[in-house]
Amino acid sequence: MEWTDHGIVLSARRHGESSVVLSVLTEAHGQHAGLVRGGQSRRRRGVMEPGNLVAVTWRARLEEHLGNYTVELETGYAARLLVYADRLAALTSLCATLDNCLAEREAHPQLFSDTLHLIHDLDKEAFAARYVLWEFGLLGELGFGLDLSSCAATGVVDDLIYVSPRSAQAVSRDAGAPYRDKLLKLPAFLKEEAEPGIGDILDGLRLTGYFLDRHVFQPQERRLPDARERFVSLLQRKAQKNLPDTRP
């Protein structure tokens, strides 16, 4: 068995004295793991940083085997973000989220494309809003998309500012007023062109995080990755300090 594909590095875990088990989101083969012999060397560790785009060739005697990877770096995205703690945290978060929520070897070509575009744009000012939109799309890709087209209670399509945690459907201001403490906030930029503030971004992360946890991680008896929690905490501190950028 052998194939070659493009992949986004999700994780590289130590295996034995010198090898690593490399997990990548590939364009045609989904989330796929393989053994990289000698992967703990200094030169190879730099290639296998989470978020990097690599060319991988996978070989195994049988399809169900772990198999071996040969890896070549195509674009080193992680190194570009080292001076930006918030952007690097976003990169680490998306890689950890994908590594823990995708079914192995199940192709998601649109998700691969969306993820690569987000990684490419993490050095832009609107990276945090783009990240929330990416998680929103991830829920849809996994079959748990939110319905923001109309109010769950009345059917109206205007003034939708909440989401029901039960139905994952939008709720209007008037219909949700008596239950606002139990509803999730719906930031405007998720349903229309709008310039989000840091509060809107944090509301968006709470929204997508709730449904990722409920529908994806809890059924697997897992929790949201620590890397995602660190990213959210960093943005919360940024909001409190009202800083334009967070550098290490």
Q: Model confidence over 108-165: pLDDT tens digits?
A: 999 999 999 999 999 999 999 999 999 999 999 999 999 999 999 999 999 999 999 9
Q: What integer pLDDT is reported at residue 244 of this predicted model? A: 54
pLDDT tens by residue, 141-151: 999 999 999 99
Residue 184 φ/ψ, nearest 5 degrees: -95, 140
pLDDT digits (tens, 9 = 90+) for 4-51: 999 999 999 999 989 999 999 999 999 999 999 998 988 888 899 999
* 121 CB burial (10 A radius; 0-12, 13-18, 19+): middle
User: Residue 63 has what pLDDT?
Assistant: 87
Q: How confident is the model at residue 243 (pLDDT cuts 50, 70, 90)?
A: low
Residues of the chain with CATH 2.40.50.140: 2-77
pLDDT above 80 (res 247) = no
Q: 2-77 — its CATH code?
A: 2.40.50.140
Three-state DSSP class for residue 45: helix
What pTM was estimated for this model as a whole?
0.93
